[in-house]
């Protein structure tokens, strides 16, 4: 509920297997032995990995729904529901659920009357709105009398849970924390209860909290302000065009009933994968999970999204004139993570961005000395659907977005016209292998990677296979993909033009 | 329903292969669930090896993955850098690695390491510098050789220092873009004092002052084995690894011991502080005062108190301010602690501009409650449970165990600090927590900081006391030492006298002690052009009042040597320091004042070229002295001053004068066209000019708020 990530962990693990890699092959073999996967009768998939390094475990619940599942007028709802998943159930967080339920129904009825009147375009009656608003707030006050505040989080805290959090991205929603190993049954209880009967209590106060999150991430942050406009410009049809936090009007309007509908549609077992990694016995966890998570009612997997972003035919740009310092970003549409060229984009990204040997660092930071940082990355704002490959640069004082653009374009041109060297390609592939191994040393990271791959691709082994795909990428493929992707008509440019440029220090770079 | 026991579960597995998933009962209430004892877990502590030359090494084997990580901490950090070179240790930390070694450039190291997907990084901190590295185990020797080379023969090449400086300058230029960053930084500066080693910040000039020699000297002064603590964890044979380290590090000669870092603080006076940030919809609020060291006798009670007060989902701040009131996404805080110097008590919160004051009230209310109402037995139990049940996560990886031991060694804390911690937390009583709350949260000591858009606040911040506005203007490069103005010349002096004579002569100008000017100022606003009636009263050399009628009400700005403030529609606020200085300077760089200085030896008059003003070719005269620097474009024939040029934080400002008229024997321009940064900014047309009028000093007084 704090940090909306993209499927970052997975993106980081999208790496490669070089030819001389006995260590990795061993790992995959040993993983096969330590991992159990099972799909319950209700469609829920469970992955358990035994990693008895210390008497603790981490879990991840991956829900295959994000802000791309929202409807116009209800943007931000996926993230809003994620916040509500911390509000408890019909057992946790209430002093008397039977009474609370009635009170919450009244809140919803009162809110609907108020919201409809408020949204009226003509002949709005302000006195009536005020009266309806009061009725709604009175109903909330009544419902609040049954609330035990934050009981869910409190139980996790006091039982020794750490890292209690969740995120919502454009593609998906994830819930996670870690517990001491002897809390495995408590975990099964809490996490199944949470998605068996979540209660939309304190919804409208939490909506205010979420609006504060919007003020922080978007409105009071220059890059946030730019990115919101940039994505809205790059995507005309696909929901990647709206920020996961949602538009202000929608945040002020959607209801607990809307959130409940979202939950009923998307939080069904067939759309969820649960992973547990740590000092646990796989058979025991499976049995507990069957018993507790087996209670979730079976329901059909939600329909795949209809909308596909139409091909872009002309360049677009957004310029934000702002008192903050300048910034430059440009993005090109690319196919989804399911495309056979996905690994080629991963290699291009690594080549452009990773470390001090990367092309953008060497050109913009080291040689031209015009930027403090520069990067090219995929999966913006998500990966499941066709998305953007974006380049950005942070100018050093006295340097302008136009200079960033020119220098980035030079590097793009180079990758289109000249084969990358064998050494560079080897570096990328070796780094991928090492990064994959580095990512295996952490229960939480593993749980996230396994569940995400399982839900996206139907197989957790994809975490390892990504490395194979990358290993097969050739210099020719890089040129082919770059030439097809990095073209003017496929581009959106975003600029923060500073109205108060910093003075360049004399003799500075 | 009966609780499920693990044994039952295991039995069920054995008996009911393929049974439907609801064959097993579930607990109905979380309290029913049994929690078996945690299995015995022996924490594998690292081996400590002390070398004869003083280096201390910790080795911890971890065979899980084919990786080795290493880390060296070296005593001495930015708290010791000279105050005109703030940033030295950061630049050292960056350039140590990027600047390469005697035999290999940084770029060559980059290529060499990246081919192995290995990393070696260096860094600088407030009390230490570090080298860390990690690699696949097979590449350990290659990687560690780079580390040793950096320790023995770093080169700190100039080009890489240049890049590091450029990156730091970028951070400086952008440090006011992010409101949370501003709040965090300024709260530190209030809590420790802006000159404290724990709060001071780098400026363009302090970064610019650092040279390669400084980095070389820092290395020579601090990088010695007797200042080093080394930690290595990973897939290695402990004996062989120890031998390698003995060989590589044991050969380093002992050097002078690092001085113990000294703690200095001079916190800001308690009170209300404000930073104006208009491009936000949300205020960032901080409350801050001194905290404690980790060896404080109240340390354990404080940890329990923090848990109840500001840590986690069940804490009072989260529950009451976020969940109940919906005022914040971010809210939290507590009494901070550090190993070798006091931490800070900090509360932080962000809330929409319109609920700023209500939120400060809410925080203060929570402080009152914490001090007046003792925590309940339930709160005490919950807080202890949270700390103790999660304690295993202090040790759940070998890397954590190693880091812990390195820290304790570095700060000279007992090795069993963590074990003691557990027992001590268990024995904390509600009374101790109450006493700690009273002693360590002190309302009277709090500096309250608000960063936000004042015009949208729900009420004036002055509700909480007199408000001090913090000026966060980033000093321009060269601000600490202006470049020398051009040398004066006889031609310059003569031109200045001619200009002064054209106005009426230096003596007559010198007789002007004050003036009042009524004018119409036409400015471009968002709604198009706007004509504002302005009334300005100036007493040379340092008092001025400007009143202007605007559509939003009357705006008044007053500056005197002691104060600077503005009021707008009845709301009053202090002028930021930069704006106050700007106004004071504008009195003394006005043509009337400077005209009286023609021939004054305190001033330099230099010819700075030619410029066309309208159709007239003028000579450009640079006038500097007594902190003032301005250029005049003078018609060499008539001596009329046609344009003034000066630099302002917004850009170069020019004023083109015309419509010269006689006022009591002085020739003054009645019209001026103002441009800033080449763009039209406004036009003034004088309606009346009164020299040496009767002035009531009260017009400069700050009204009581």
The CA distance from B241 to B141, in Å, is 10
Is A398 among the domain residues?
yes
Is B480 among the domain residues?
no
Average pLDDT over residues B208-215: 96
User: What is the domain-level CATH number for residue A463?
Assistant: 3.30.830.10
End-to-end Cα, chain B, rounded Å: 67
Is A233 among the domain residues?
no
Percent of chain B with pLDDT strictly greater than 90: 71
Touching A: B residues 473-492, CB under 8 Å: 474, 476-478
Is A185 among the domain residues?
no
Question: Contact B649/B480 with Cβ under 8 angstroms?
Answer: no
Is A386 among the domain residues?
yes
Whether residue B282 and residue A160 make contact (CB cut-off 8 A), yes or no, is no
Question: Contact B99/B106 with Cβ under 8 angstroms?
Answer: yes
Is B408 among the domain residues?
no
Sign of CA dihedral B160, B166, B170, B175: positive
Is B631 among the domain residues?
yes
Average pLDDT over residues B97-104: 98
Which candidate in B163, B275, B483, B484 is best for mutational testing of the A interface (most A CBs within 10 A)? B163
Question: Contact A416/A488 with Cβ under 8 angstroms?
Answer: no
Nearest-by-Cβ selection for A397 from B67, B170, B391:
B170
Question: Contact B322/A204 with Cβ under 8 angstroms?
Answer: no
Q: Predicted confidence band at B13 (pLDDT cuts at 50, 70, 90)?
A: very low
Residues of B in contact with A55 (CB under 8 A): 38-39, 41, 392
Q: What is the pLDDT of residue A7?
A: 30
Question: What is the span of the domain harbouring residue B584?
Answer: 490-700
Dihedral of the alpha carbons of B96, B102, B105, B110, in degrees to the nearest 10: -60
The CA distance from A34 to A49, in Å, is 5
Asked whether residue B626 falls in the same domain as residue B604, the answer is yes
Is A252 among the domain residues?
no
Q: Predicted confidence band at B17 (pLDDT cuts at 50, 70, 90)?
A: very low
More confident residue, B565 or A279: A279
Condensed to tens digits (0 to 9), the pLDDT of residues B248-265 reads 999 999 999 888 777 888
- Nearest C-alpha in A relative to B311: A157
Q: What is the pLDDT of residue B618?
A: 92
Asked whether residue B664 falls in the same domain as residue B529, the answer is yes
Question: Contact A494/A389 with Cβ under 8 angstroms?
Answer: no
Domain count, chain B: 4
Asked whether residue B445 falls in the same domain as residue B540, the answer is no
Q: What is the pLDDT of residue A508?
A: 38
Question: Could you give the C-alpha distances from B417 to A2, B198, B405, B422, B614, in angstroms and in order?
Answer: 32, 25, 10, 9, 78
Answer yes or no: is pLDDT of B562 > 90.
no
Touching B: A residues 393-422, CB under 8 Å: 394-397
Asked whether residue B108 falls in the same domain as residue B15, the answer is no
Asked whether residue B64 falls in the same domain as residue B203, the answer is yes
Is A139 among the domain residues?
no
Q: What are phi and psi of B88, to 5 degrees?
A: -55, -45
Asked whether residue B458 falls in the same domain as residue B571, the answer is no
Contacts of A100 (CB under 8 A, 6+ apart): A94, A143, A146, A147, A199, A201
Asked whether residue B24 falls in the same domain as residue B53, the answer is no
Q: Which stretches within A331-400 are classed as H helix?
A: 342-353, 359-360
Answer yes or no: is pLDDT of B239 > 60.
yes
Average pLDDT over residues B674-690: 85
Condensed to tens digits (0 to 9), the pLDDT of residues B362-383 reads 999 999 999 998 899 999 999 9
Is B551 among the domain residues?
yes
Q: What is the pLDDT of residue B53?
A: 97
The CA distance from B433 to B440, in Å, is 10
Q: What is the pLDDT of residue B485?
A: 59
The CA distance from A501 to A400, in Å, is 9
Is B705 among the domain residues?
no
Asked whether residue B179 falls in the same domain as residue B327, the answer is no
Tokens 């009131």 locate to B325
Is B406 among the domain residues?
no
Answer yes or no: is pLDDT of B573 > 60.
yes
Question: Contact B454/B463 with Cβ under 8 angstroms?
Answer: no
Residue A308 CA to its chain's centroid (Å): 19
Average pLDDT over residues B491-497: 90
Asked whether residue B506 falls in the same domain as residue B620, the answer is yes
Question: Contact B683/B521 with Cβ under 8 angstroms?
Answer: yes
Residue B479 DSSP SS3: coil
Asked whether residue B232 falls in the same domain as residue B377, the answer is no
Instruction: Return the ∠ at Cα A173 (arms to A233 and A485), rounded to 5°.
Output: 40
Mind telling me how many Å the CA of A88 is from chain B's nearest CA? 12
The CA distance from A470 to A354, in Å, is 15
Least confident of B21-35, B230-244, B665-679: B21-35
Closest Cα partner for A459 from A469, A474, A449, A467?
Answer: A449
Residues of B in contact with A252 (CB under 8 A): none
Q: What is the pLDDT of residue B409?
A: 95
Q: Tell me the HSE value of B83 on the side-chain side, using a 13 A CA sphere.
A: 8
Is B207 among the domain residues?
yes
Q: ipTM higher than 0.85? A: yes
Touching A: B residues 143-172, CB under 8 Å: 162-163, 165-167, 169-172
Contacts of A246 (CB under 8 A, 6+ apart): A67, A70, A75, A76, A77, A79, A80, A210, A214
Tokens, residue B486: 């051009």
Q: What are phi and psi of A104, to 5 degrees?
A: -70, -35
Average pLDDT over residues B527-533: 79
Domain count, chain A: 1
Average pLDDT over residues B158-184: 96
Question: Could you give the C-alpha distances from B219 to B150, B160, B689, in angstroms and in order?
Answer: 10, 16, 65
Contacts of B466 (CB under 8 A, 6+ apart): B271, B272, B705
Residue A310 DSSP SS3: coil
Is A467 among the domain residues?
yes
Q: What is the pLDDT of residue B14?
A: 31
Question: What is the span of the domain harbouring residue A333?
Answer: 316-498
Those residues of chain A that have pLDDT short of 50 are 1-22, 507-509
Beta pairing class for B344-352 and B666-676 = unpaired
The CA distance from A99 to B382, in Å, is 28
Asked whether residue B524 falls in the same domain as residue B598, the answer is yes
Q: What is the pLDDT of residue A15?
A: 28
% helix, strand, coil for chain B, step of 5: 35, 30, 35
Touching B: A residues 178-197, CB under 8 Å: 178, 180-183, 185-186, 189-190, 192-193
Question: Could you give the C-alpha distances from B205 to A83, A394, A441, B584, in angstroms and in order?
Answer: 46, 21, 44, 24
Condensed to tens digits (0 to 9), the pLDDT of residues B34-74 reads 888 888 888 899 999 999 999 999 999 999 999 999 999 99
Residues of A in contact with B207 (CB under 8 A): 505
- Is A458's Cβ below 8 Å from some Cβ in B? no
Percent of chain B with pLDDT strictly greater than 70: 94
Asked whether residue B104 falls in the same domain as residue B218, the answer is yes
Is A408 among the domain residues?
yes
Tokens, residue B418: 């963590």
Residue A297 CA to its chain's centroid (Å): 26
Q: What is the pLDDT of residue B486?
A: 66
The CA distance from B431 to B611, in Å, is 78
Nearest-by-Cβ selection for A505 from B107, B178, B477:
B477
Cross-strand partners of B89? none
User: What is the domain-level CATH number for residue B152?
Assistant: 3.30.830.10
């Amino acid at each position: 509920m704090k940090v909306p990530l993209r499927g970052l962990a997975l993106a980081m693990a999208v790496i490669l297997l070089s030819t001389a890699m006995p260590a990795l092959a061993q790992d995959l073999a040993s993983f096969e032995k330590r991992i159990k996967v099972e799909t319950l009768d209700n469609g829920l998939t469970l992955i358990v990995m035994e990693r008895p390094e210390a008497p603790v475990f981490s879990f991840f619940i991956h829900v295959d729904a994000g802000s791309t599942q929202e409807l116009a007028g209800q943007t931000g709802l996926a993230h809003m529901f994620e916040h509500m998943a911390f509000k408890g159930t019909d057992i946790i967080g209430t002093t008397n659920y039977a009474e609370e339920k009635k009170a919450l129904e009244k809140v919803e009825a009162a809110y609907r009357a108020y919201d409809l009147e408020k949204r009226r375009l003509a002949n709005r009656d302000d006195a009536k709105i005020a009266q309806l608003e009061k009725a709604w707030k009175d109903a909330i006050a009544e419902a609040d009398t049954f609330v035990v505040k934050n009981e869910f989080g409190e139980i996790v805290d006091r039982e020794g849970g750490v890292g209690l959090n969740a995120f919502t991205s454009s593609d998906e929603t994830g819930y996670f924390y870690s517990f001491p190993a002897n809390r495995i049954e408590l975990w099964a209880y809490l996490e199944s209860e949470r998605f068996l009967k979540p209660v939309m209590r304190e919804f409208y106060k939490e909506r205010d909290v979420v609006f504060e999150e919007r003020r922080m991430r978007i409105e009071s942050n220059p890059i946030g302000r730019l990115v919101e406009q940039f994505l809205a410009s790059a995507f005309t049809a696909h929901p990647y065009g709206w920020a996961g936090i949602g538009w202000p009007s929608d945040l002020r309007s959607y209801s607990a009933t809307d959130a409940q509908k979202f939950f009923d549609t998307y939080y069904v077992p067939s759309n969820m994968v649960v992973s547990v990694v740590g000092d646990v016995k796989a058979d025991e966890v499976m049995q507990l999970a069957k018993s507790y998570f087996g209670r979730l009612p079976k329901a059909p997997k939600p329909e795949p999204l209809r909308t596909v972003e139409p091909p872009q035919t002309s360049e677009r740009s957004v310029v934000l004139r702002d008192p903050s310092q300048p910034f430059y970003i440009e993005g090109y549409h690319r196919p989804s993570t399911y495309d056979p060229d996905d690994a080629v984009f991963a290699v291009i990204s690594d080549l452009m961005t990773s470390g001090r040997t990367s092309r953008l660092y060497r050109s913009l930071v080291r040689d031209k000395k015009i930027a403090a940082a520069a990067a090219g990355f995929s999966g913006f704002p998500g990966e499941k659907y066709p998305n953007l490959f974006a380049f950005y640069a942070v100018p050093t004082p006295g340097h302008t977005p136009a200079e960033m653009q020119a220098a980035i374009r030079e590097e793009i041109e180079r990758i289109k016209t000249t084969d990358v060297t064998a050494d560079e390609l080897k570096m990328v592939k070796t780094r991928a292998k090492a990064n994959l191994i580095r990512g295996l040393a952490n229960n939480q990271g593993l749980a996230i990677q396994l569940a995400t791959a399982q839900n996206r691709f139907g197989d957790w082994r994809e975490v390892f296979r990504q490395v194979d795909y990358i290993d097969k990428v050739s210099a020719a493929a890089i040129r082919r993909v770059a030439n097809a992707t990095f073209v003017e008509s496929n581009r959106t440019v975003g600029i923060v033009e500073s109205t108060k440029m910093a003075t360049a220090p004399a003799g500075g770079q | 329903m009966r609780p499920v026991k693990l044994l039952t579960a295991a039995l069920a597995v054995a008996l009911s292969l393929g049974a439907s998933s609801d064959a097993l009962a579930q607990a109905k209430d979380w309290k029913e669930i049994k929690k078996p004892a945690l299995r015995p877990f022996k924490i594998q502590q690292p081996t400590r090896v002390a070398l004869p030359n003083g280096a201390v090494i910790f080795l911890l084997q971890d065979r899980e993955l084919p990786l080795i990580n290493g880390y060296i901490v070296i005593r001495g950090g930015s708290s010791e850098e000279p105050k005109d070179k703030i940033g030295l240790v950061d630049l050292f930390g960056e350039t140590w690695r990027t600047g390469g070694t005697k035999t290999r450039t940084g770029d060559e190291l980059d290529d060499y390491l990246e081919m192995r997907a290995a990393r070696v990084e260096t860094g600088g901190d407030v009390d230490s510098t570090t080298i860390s590295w990690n690699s696949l185990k097979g590449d350990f020797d290659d990687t560690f050789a780079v580390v040793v080379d950096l320790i023995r023969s770093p080169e700190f090449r100039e080009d890489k220092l240049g890049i590091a400086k450029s990156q730091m300058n970028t951070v400086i230029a952008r440090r006011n873009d992010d409101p949370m960053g501003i709040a965090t930084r300024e709260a530190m500066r209030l809590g420790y004092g802006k000159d404290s080693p724990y709060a001071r910040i780098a400026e363009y000039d302090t970064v610019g002052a650092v040279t390669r020699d400084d980095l070389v000297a820092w290395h020579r002064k601090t990088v010695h084995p007797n200042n080093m603590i080394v930690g290595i964890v990973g897939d290695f044979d402990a004996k062989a690894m120890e031998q390698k380290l003995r060989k590589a590090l044991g050969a380093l000669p002992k050097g002078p011991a690092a001085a113990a870092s000294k703690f200095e603080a001079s916190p800001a006076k308690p009170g209300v502080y404000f930073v104006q940030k208009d491009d936000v919809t949300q205020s960032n609020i901080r409350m801050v005062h001194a905290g404690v060291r980790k060896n404080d006798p109240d340390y354990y009670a404080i940890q329990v108190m923090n848990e109840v007060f500001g840590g986690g989902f069940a804490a009072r701040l989260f529950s009451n301010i976020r969940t109940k009131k919906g005022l914040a996404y971010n809210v939290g805080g507590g009494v901070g602690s550090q190993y070798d110097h006091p931490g800070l008590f900090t509360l932080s919160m962000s809330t929409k501009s319109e609920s700023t004051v209500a939120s400060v009230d809410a925080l203060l209310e929570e402080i009152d409650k914490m001090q007046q109402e003792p925590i309940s037995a339930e709160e005490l139990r919950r807080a202890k449970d949270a700390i103790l049940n999660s304690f295993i996560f202090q040790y759940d990886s070998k890397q954590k165990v190693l880091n812990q031991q390195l820290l304790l060694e570095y700060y000279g804390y007992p090795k069993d600090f963590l074990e003691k911690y557990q027992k001590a937390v268990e024995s904390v009583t509600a009374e101790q927590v109450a006493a700690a709350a009273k002693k360590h949260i002190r309302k009277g000591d709090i500096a309250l900081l608000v960063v936000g858009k004042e015009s949208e606040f729900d009420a004036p911040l002055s509700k909480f006391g007199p408000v001090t506005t913090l000026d966060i203007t980033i000093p321009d490069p060269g601000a600490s030492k202006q470049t020398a103005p051009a040398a004066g010349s006889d031609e310059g002096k003569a031109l200045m006298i001619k200009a002064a004579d054209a106005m009426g002569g230096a003596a007559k100008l010198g007789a002007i002690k004050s003036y009042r000017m009524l004018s119409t100022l036409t400015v471009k606003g968002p709604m198009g052009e706007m004509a504002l009636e302005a009334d300005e009263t100036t007493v040379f050399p340092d008092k001025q009042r400007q009143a202007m009628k605007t559509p939003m009400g009357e705006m008044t700005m007053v500056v005197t040597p002691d104060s600077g403030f503005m009021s707008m529609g009845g709301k009053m606020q202090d002028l930021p320091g930069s704006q106050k200085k700007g106004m004071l300077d504008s009195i003394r760089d006005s043509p009337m004042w400077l005209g009286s200085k023609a021939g004054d030896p305190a001033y330099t008059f230099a010819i700075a070229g030619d410029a066309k003003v309208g159709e007239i070719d003028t000579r450009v005269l640079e006038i500097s002295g007594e902190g003032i620097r301005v250029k005049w474009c003078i018609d060499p024939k008539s001596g009329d001053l046609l344009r003034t040029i000066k630099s302002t934080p917004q850009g170069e400002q020019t004023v083109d004068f015309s419509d010269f008229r006689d006022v009591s024997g002085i020739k003054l321009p009645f019209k001026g066209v103002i441009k800033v940064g080449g763009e039209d900014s406004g036009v003034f047309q004088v309606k009346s000019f009164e020299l040496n009028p009767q002035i009531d000093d009260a017009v400069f007084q700050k009204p009581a708020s």
